[in-house]
Chain A
Amino acid sequence: MRKGDNLIDILEDWCKGCEICIKRCPVQALELSTELNKRGVYPPKLKENNECTFCRLCELLCPDFVISVTREEVKEVDEPKSKLIIGGVCNDI
């Protein structure tokens, strides 16, 4: 997963299994999980290939406050400032 991707936090045990989030998602980013929750239904989960566009429709349309859409925080990597490339030779200083 790339850094800065949209994440969907799901409280699995609160889900009642209405599947509205899966059916109303405009980009089909969600699918049913393969594990049952405490209530005996399959909660939604984000697909392996993350296509979430941060429209937050699933969060707004979930009647049970299960879903919360967040952005993963991007941590800026400190790159060494002087990285001279001279004649194909990289000098790390």
Chain B
Amino acid sequence: MSNMKEMSGEQIRKKYLRDGMLPTIFCNGCGHGLSIDYVLWAIEELELDIDKVSFASGIGCSSRIPGYMNADGLHTTHGRALAFATGLKAAIPDNDVIVFTGDGDCTGIGGNHFIHAARRNIDMTVILLNNYIYGMTGGQLAPTAPKNSIATTAPYGNIEQAFNISELAVALGAAYVARWPISYPYQPIKSIKEGIQKKGFSLIELMSPCPTAFGRRNKLGNIEKLWDWYDNNSILVEEHDRIMDFGTDEEKAKIAGKYKIGVFQDLDKPGFIAEYGKLVDRVTAADDAKYRGDLK
């Protein structure tokens, strides 16, 4: 495995990104650009051939990312990135499929595709960039928006419960589920590496700041303030569980409403492609046994 210290950021950029597309279209202070960086470091450290990696995305800010990669990409219709990626994986099982998707794309419009891709345990890595708002269309309320947050379509505050994507994926039995704020570099890179290596569905939810649509409306317009908000509003899942089991009431009140971060699920089970291969072998063996006499 190559050592991270050996390559500079410039070398990574020249190796994997389309030079004419840069700099990125993202707003000042947006975290989405970092996810490109983390995925590239993960690919570099795993020494994957970039021609054997395909990217897919739907519609939204996050879905522009495959356009920057110097690799095969699929920019699809709204919410259907996972459906297209399923087809891509089934057609070329040797390729690693990485899906970039946003919270609106994956859970708002494409919620059912997400549920069924996780349930069927299809071998792909989903990088879900969660910014808690519909950023590209002008700040409408997303299903993941925290309670009492302000959006264009919720000017007096959000009264609905927020969608907890990672815990849904855990319940559906996805092979690998992790959530990290984008401001910590090393943990997401490690999680993306593990997710790519994992057979089966792996979800890496990255909490990405959106200063333009989310921050400005929620009194977090200052970029530093918004980035700190993510650090101060998250708690490691192990720490959370320890406090819930043994902590005092004060500690419990302190962590209420904070986002749990960390690796939620890490299972070893066969993915969809492996199961499908077994099925094909079983049926063809039965067929061969049945018709062997006739054919000879």
Q: Which residues on A are within 8 Å of B, measured CB to CB?
A: 9, 14, 16-20, 23-24, 41, 56-57, 59-70
- Which of B5, B9, B41, B227 interacts with A20 by CB under 8 Å? B227
24 CB-based A-B contacts, threshold 8 Å? A14-B22, A14-B23, A16-B23, A16-B27, A16-B28, A18-B28, A18-B29, A18-B223, A20-B223, A20-B224, A60-B37, A61-B183, A62-B9, A63-B32, A63-B37, A65-B9, A65-B17, A65-B23, A65-B24, A65-B37, A68-B9, A68-B10, A68-B11, A69-B8
Closest 10 CB pairs of A and B: A63-B33, A68-B10, A60-B185, A68-B9, A16-B28, A14-B23, A18-B29, A59-B9, A68-B8, A65-B13
Q: Give A2 Cβ to nearest chain B Cβ, in Å.
A: 20
Q: Which residues on B are within 8 Å of A, measured CB to CB?
A: 5, 8-11, 13, 17, 22-24, 26-34, 37, 41, 183, 185, 223-224, 227
Question: Contacts of B17 on A, CB cut-off 8 Å?
Answer: 65
- Name A18's closest neighbour in chain B (CB-CB): B29
Cα A60 to Cα B29 in complex, Å, equals 14
**Interface contact B34-A61, CB-CB below 8 Å:** yes
**Interface contact A65-B185, CB-CB below 8 Å:** no
Question: Contacts of B34 on A, CB cut-off 8 Å?
Answer: 60-63
- Name B33's closest neighbour in chain A (CB-CB): A63
Cα A9 to Cα B185 in complex, Å, equals 20
**Interface contact A9-B10, CB-CB below 8 Å:** yes
**Interface contact A19-B224, CB-CB below 8 Å:** yes
**Interface contact A64-B29, CB-CB below 8 Å:** no
Given contacts A18-B29, A61-B183, 13 further A-B contacts (CB under 8 A): A14-B23, A16-B23, A16-B29, A18-B28, A20-B223, A20-B224, A20-B227, A59-B8, A60-B9, A63-B31, A63-B32, A63-B37, A68-B8
Instruction: Report whether over half of chain A's contact residues are helix, strand or loop; otherwise say mixed.
Output: mixed
**Interface contact B24-A64, CB-CB below 8 Å:** yes
Instruction: Check A61/B185 contact, CB under 8 A, given A17-B28, A18-B29, A69-B8.
Output: yes
- Name B41's closest neighbour in chain A (CB-CB): A60
- Name A54's closest neighbour in chain B (CB-CB): B5
**Interface contact B24-A63, CB-CB below 8 Å:** yes
Cα A68 to Cα B37 in complex, Å, equals 12
Instruction: Check A69/B33 contact, CB under 8 A, given A20-B227, A61-B185, A64-B23.
Output: no
Question: Contacts of B185 on A, CB cut-off 8 Å?
Answer: 57, 60-61
Cα A70 to Cα B11 in complex, Å, equals 11
- Name B17's closest neighbour in chain A (CB-CB): A65
Question: Contacts of A16 on B, CB cut-off 8 Å?
Answer: 23, 27-29
Cα A57 to Cα B9 in complex, Å, equals 11
- Name B208's closest neighbour in chain A (CB-CB): A63
Question: Contacts of B22 on A, CB cut-off 8 Å?
Answer: 14, 65
Q: Give B28 Cβ to nearest chain A Cβ, in Å.
A: 4
Q: Give A7 Cβ to nearest chain B Cβ, in Å.
A: 10
Cα A68 to Cα B8 in complex, Å, equals 6
Cα A64 to Cα B27 in complex, Å, equals 10
Q: Give B20 Cβ to nearest chain A Cβ, in Å.
A: 13
Cα A61 to Cα B37 in complex, Å, equals 9
Q: Give A54 Cβ to nearest chain B Cβ, in Å.
A: 8
Question: Contacts of A65 on B, CB cut-off 8 Å?
Answer: 9, 13, 17, 22-24, 33, 37
**Interface contact A70-B28, CB-CB below 8 Å:** no
Question: Contacts of A59 on B, CB cut-off 8 Å?
Answer: 8-9
Q: Give B170 Cβ to nearest chain A Cβ, in Å.
A: 28
**Interface contact B224-A23, CB-CB below 8 Å:** yes
**Interface contact A69-B9, CB-CB below 8 Å:** yes
Q: Give B219 Cβ to nearest chain A Cβ, in Å.
A: 18
